[in-house]
Amino acid sequence: MHILLPPSEKKAIEGDGPPLDLASLSFPELTAARKRVITALTRACRRRDAPETLGLPAGQVDEALARNKALKEAPALPVARLYTGVLYDNLDLPSLDPEAAAERVVVFSGLWGALRLTDRVPPYRLSMSVSLPPLGRLGTFWKPAMTKALRPSGLIVDMRSGPYAAAWKAPMPAVAVRVFRETVTGGVPKRTVVSHMAKATRGAIAHDLLDAGADPATPEELLKTVADLGYTVELNGTYLDVILTS
Protein backbone atom coordinates (compact mmCIF):
# COMPACT_ATOMS: atom_id res chain seq x y z
CA MET A 1 0.00 0.00 0.00
CA HIS A 2 1.12 3.51 -0.83
CA ILE A 3 -0.52 6.66 0.54
CA LEU A 4 -0.39 9.72 -1.73
CA LEU A 5 -0.57 13.09 0.02
CA PRO A 6 -0.70 16.72 -1.10
CA PRO A 7 1.79 19.18 0.40
CA SER A 8 0.70 21.97 2.71
CA GLU A 9 0.87 25.72 2.27
CA LYS A 10 1.97 25.86 5.90
CA LYS A 11 5.58 24.83 6.32
CA ALA A 12 8.43 24.94 8.80
CA ILE A 13 10.02 28.38 9.04
CA GLU A 14 13.51 27.22 8.16
CA GLY A 15 15.69 24.18 7.67
CA ASP A 16 18.45 23.01 9.96
CA GLY A 17 20.83 21.05 7.76
CA PRO A 18 22.97 21.25 4.61
CA PRO A 19 21.46 22.97 1.56
CA LEU A 20 19.54 21.23 -1.21
CA ASP A 21 21.20 18.29 -2.97
CA LEU A 22 19.00 17.43 -5.94
CA ALA A 23 20.91 14.23 -6.63
CA SER A 24 19.95 12.86 -3.21
CA LEU A 25 16.18 13.14 -3.69
CA SER A 26 13.92 10.17 -4.35
CA PHE A 27 12.63 9.58 -7.88
CA PRO A 28 15.86 10.69 -9.62
CA GLU A 29 14.07 10.56 -12.98
CA LEU A 30 12.50 13.87 -11.92
CA THR A 31 15.83 15.67 -11.51
CA ALA A 32 15.84 17.37 -14.92
CA ALA A 33 12.26 18.60 -14.45
CA ARG A 34 13.08 19.82 -10.93
CA LYS A 35 15.97 21.89 -12.28
CA ARG A 36 13.68 23.50 -14.86
CA VAL A 37 11.06 24.40 -12.25
CA ILE A 38 13.68 25.85 -9.87
CA THR A 39 15.10 28.00 -12.67
CA ALA A 40 11.66 29.18 -13.78
CA LEU A 41 10.58 29.90 -10.20
CA THR A 42 13.73 31.87 -9.40
CA ARG A 43 13.21 34.03 -12.48
CA ALA A 44 9.49 34.49 -11.77
CA CYS A 45 10.27 35.72 -8.26
CA ARG A 46 12.32 38.59 -9.71
CA ARG A 47 9.39 39.88 -11.76
CA ARG A 48 7.06 42.67 -10.66
CA ASP A 49 4.05 40.45 -11.15
CA ALA A 50 5.51 37.62 -9.03
CA PRO A 51 2.76 37.78 -6.34
CA GLU A 52 0.03 37.50 -8.97
CA THR A 53 1.84 34.82 -10.97
CA LEU A 54 2.43 32.66 -7.89
CA GLY A 55 -0.94 33.40 -6.29
CA LEU A 56 0.59 34.70 -3.08
CA PRO A 57 -1.62 36.26 -0.37
CA ALA A 58 -0.69 39.87 0.39
CA GLY A 59 0.61 39.19 3.88
CA GLN A 60 2.91 36.37 2.74
CA VAL A 61 4.58 37.85 -0.33
CA ASP A 62 7.91 38.92 1.16
CA GLU A 63 8.49 35.69 3.06
CA ALA A 64 7.47 33.47 0.13
CA LEU A 65 9.65 35.30 -2.39
CA ALA A 66 12.63 35.27 -0.04
CA ARG A 67 12.31 31.52 0.44
CA ASN A 68 12.00 30.84 -3.29
CA LYS A 69 15.00 33.00 -4.16
CA ALA A 70 17.17 31.14 -1.63
CA LEU A 71 16.32 27.58 -2.67
CA LYS A 72 19.87 26.58 -3.58
CA GLU A 73 21.54 28.03 -0.49
CA ALA A 74 18.96 27.69 2.30
CA PRO A 75 19.30 24.95 4.92
CA ALA A 76 17.13 21.94 4.12
CA LEU A 77 15.12 19.65 6.40
CA PRO A 78 13.31 16.32 5.99
CA VAL A 79 9.93 16.36 4.31
CA ALA A 80 8.60 14.67 7.46
CA ARG A 81 9.21 17.95 9.33
CA LEU A 82 8.66 20.42 6.49
CA TYR A 83 4.89 20.37 6.10
CA THR A 84 2.52 21.49 8.84
CA GLY A 85 -1.16 22.38 8.77
CA VAL A 86 -4.36 20.44 9.42
CA LEU A 87 -3.64 17.26 7.45
CA TYR A 88 -0.09 16.89 8.76
CA ASP A 89 -1.09 17.75 12.32
CA ASN A 90 -3.52 14.83 12.22
CA LEU A 91 -1.05 12.58 10.42
CA ASP A 92 1.22 13.10 13.46
CA LEU A 93 4.37 11.69 11.87
CA PRO A 94 6.51 11.97 15.05
CA SER A 95 4.35 9.28 16.67
CA LEU A 96 4.79 6.80 13.79
CA ASP A 97 7.54 4.38 12.85
CA PRO A 98 9.66 6.60 10.56
CA GLU A 99 10.85 3.74 8.33
CA ALA A 100 7.35 2.39 7.77
CA ALA A 101 5.99 5.86 7.02
CA ALA A 102 8.83 6.66 4.62
CA GLU A 103 8.20 3.42 2.75
CA ARG A 104 4.47 4.00 2.36
CA VAL A 105 3.99 7.76 1.90
CA VAL A 106 4.59 9.84 -1.24
CA VAL A 107 4.07 13.62 -1.03
CA PHE A 108 3.33 15.54 -4.23
CA SER A 109 4.69 19.05 -4.80
CA GLY A 110 4.50 21.78 -7.41
CA LEU A 111 8.24 22.36 -7.05
CA TRP A 112 9.68 18.87 -6.52
CA GLY A 113 7.13 16.68 -8.29
CA ALA A 114 7.05 13.87 -5.74
CA LEU A 115 9.01 13.24 -2.54
CA ARG A 116 9.54 10.67 0.18
CA LEU A 117 9.38 11.73 3.81
CA THR A 118 13.14 11.25 4.21
CA ASP A 119 14.03 13.65 1.36
CA ARG A 120 15.57 16.93 2.51
CA VAL A 121 14.42 20.16 0.84
CA PRO A 122 14.27 23.81 1.94
CA PRO A 123 11.00 25.62 2.73
CA TYR A 124 9.40 27.07 -0.40
CA ARG A 125 6.10 28.33 -1.77
CA LEU A 126 4.74 27.01 -5.10
CA SER A 127 1.35 25.47 -5.75
CA MET A 128 0.72 22.84 -8.41
CA SER A 129 -2.12 25.03 -9.73
CA VAL A 130 0.29 27.85 -10.70
CA SER A 131 0.99 28.62 -14.36
CA LEU A 132 4.74 29.26 -14.21
CA PRO A 133 6.37 31.02 -17.20
CA PRO A 134 7.61 29.57 -19.49
CA LEU A 135 6.59 26.08 -18.32
CA GLY A 136 2.85 26.67 -18.13
CA ARG A 137 0.52 25.07 -15.62
CA LEU A 138 2.59 22.88 -13.35
CA GLY A 139 0.09 20.05 -13.17
CA THR A 140 0.41 19.65 -16.93
CA PHE A 141 4.18 20.20 -16.95
CA TRP A 142 4.84 17.46 -14.39
CA LYS A 143 2.63 14.79 -15.92
CA PRO A 144 5.08 13.29 -18.50
CA ALA A 145 8.01 13.11 -16.08
CA MET A 146 5.87 11.70 -13.28
CA THR A 147 4.42 9.04 -15.55
CA LYS A 148 7.94 7.75 -16.22
CA ALA A 149 9.28 8.14 -12.68
CA LEU A 150 6.48 6.77 -10.51
CA ARG A 151 5.93 3.03 -10.72
CA PRO A 152 4.45 1.96 -7.38
CA SER A 153 3.20 -1.54 -6.72
CA GLY A 154 0.24 -2.53 -4.61
CA LEU A 155 -2.87 -0.62 -3.61
CA ILE A 156 -2.73 3.17 -3.82
CA VAL A 157 -4.69 5.24 -1.29
CA ASP A 158 -4.99 8.65 -2.94
CA MET A 159 -5.53 11.55 -0.54
CA ARG A 160 -4.36 14.30 -2.91
CA SER A 161 -6.38 17.41 -3.71
CA GLY A 162 -7.45 18.15 -7.29
CA PRO A 163 -4.39 19.96 -8.77
CA TYR A 164 -1.99 17.36 -7.38
CA ALA A 165 -4.11 14.42 -8.49
CA ALA A 166 -4.14 15.90 -12.01
CA ALA A 167 -0.34 15.82 -12.19
CA TRP A 168 -0.22 12.02 -12.09
CA LYS A 169 -2.98 9.48 -12.53
CA ALA A 170 -2.52 6.67 -10.07
CA PRO A 171 -2.62 3.23 -11.73
CA MET A 172 -5.08 0.62 -10.55
CA PRO A 173 -5.71 -0.59 -7.95
CA ALA A 174 -6.20 2.91 -6.60
CA VAL A 175 -8.82 4.43 -4.31
CA ALA A 176 -9.33 8.17 -3.83
CA VAL A 177 -10.53 9.20 -0.37
CA ARG A 178 -13.48 11.60 -0.20
CA VAL A 179 -15.04 13.03 2.95
CA PHE A 180 -18.70 13.96 3.40
CA ARG A 181 -20.75 15.27 6.28
CA GLU A 182 -24.18 13.70 6.62
CA THR A 183 -27.09 15.50 8.25
CA VAL A 184 -30.69 14.39 8.54
CA THR A 185 -33.49 16.91 8.04
CA GLY A 186 -37.08 15.74 8.25
CA GLY A 187 -35.93 12.16 8.12
CA VAL A 188 -34.06 12.74 4.86
CA PRO A 189 -30.26 12.29 4.93
CA LYS A 190 -28.19 14.84 3.05
CA ARG A 191 -24.47 14.72 2.35
CA THR A 192 -22.22 17.70 1.70
CA VAL A 193 -18.54 17.93 0.83
CA VAL A 194 -16.35 19.37 3.59
CA SER A 195 -12.94 21.01 3.24
CA HIS A 196 -11.26 21.69 6.60
CA MET A 197 -12.54 18.47 8.15
CA ALA A 198 -11.64 16.57 4.99
CA LYS A 199 -7.98 17.42 5.53
CA ALA A 200 -8.16 16.45 9.19
CA THR A 201 -9.95 13.20 8.40
CA ARG A 202 -7.54 12.19 5.64
CA GLY A 203 -4.61 12.88 7.95
CA ALA A 204 -6.19 10.85 10.75
CA ILE A 205 -6.95 7.90 8.47
CA ALA A 206 -3.42 7.93 7.04
CA HIS A 207 -2.04 7.97 10.59
CA ASP A 208 -4.25 5.10 11.72
CA LEU A 209 -3.41 2.96 8.68
CA LEU A 210 0.32 3.47 9.22
CA ASP A 211 0.10 3.05 12.98
CA ALA A 212 -1.76 -0.25 12.55
CA GLY A 213 0.79 -1.54 10.05
CA ALA A 214 -2.08 -2.10 7.62
CA ASP A 215 -1.31 -3.30 4.12
CA PRO A 216 -4.60 -3.88 2.29
CA ALA A 217 -4.15 -5.21 -1.23
CA THR A 218 -7.57 -4.38 -2.68
CA PRO A 219 -10.17 -1.62 -2.32
CA GLU A 220 -12.42 -4.10 -0.51
CA GLU A 221 -9.69 -4.90 2.01
CA LEU A 222 -9.10 -1.17 2.51
CA LEU A 223 -12.81 -0.64 3.17
CA LYS A 224 -12.81 -3.31 5.87
CA THR A 225 -9.56 -2.05 7.40
CA VAL A 226 -10.74 1.55 7.66
CA ALA A 227 -14.12 0.46 9.02
CA ASP A 228 -12.36 -1.67 11.64
CA LEU A 229 -10.39 1.44 12.64
CA GLY A 230 -13.67 3.08 13.63
CA TYR A 231 -14.68 5.10 10.56
CA THR A 232 -17.98 5.06 8.70
CA VAL A 233 -17.01 4.33 5.11
CA GLU A 234 -18.45 3.23 1.79
CA LEU A 235 -16.77 2.01 -1.38
CA ASN A 236 -18.25 3.73 -4.42
CA GLY A 237 -16.38 2.68 -7.53
CA THR A 238 -12.85 4.03 -7.24
CA TYR A 239 -13.74 6.20 -4.21
CA LEU A 240 -13.58 5.44 -0.53
CA ASP A 241 -16.20 7.75 0.95
CA VAL A 242 -15.81 8.67 4.61
CA ILE A 243 -19.04 9.78 6.24
CA LEU A 244 -19.00 12.23 9.14
CA THR A 245 -22.21 12.65 11.11
CA SER A 246 -23.26 15.68 13.11
- Read off the pLDDT of residues 82-94 as tens digits, 9 standing for 90 and up: 999 999 999 999 9
Q: How far is CA 206 from the centre of its chain?
A: 12
Instruction: Place 246 in a pLDDT band, splitting at 50, 70 and 90.
Output: low
Report the predicted TM-score, pTM, of the whole model to 2 decimal places. 0.93
Mean pLDDT of 100-110: 96
Judge whether residue 138 has pLDDT over 70.
yes
pLDDT, position 192: 87
Span 204-222, pLDDT tens digits: 999 999 999 999 999 999 9
Q: Within 13 Å, how many C-alpha atoms sit on residue 188's CB side?
A: 2
Residue 53: how many CB atoms within 10 A of its CB?
16
User: Where does residue 236 rank: exposed (0-12), middle (13-18), buried (19+ CB within 10 A)?
Assistant: exposed
| Side-chain-side CA neighbours of residue 215 (13 Å) | 7
Q: pLDDT category, 27, cuts 50, 70, 90?
A: very high
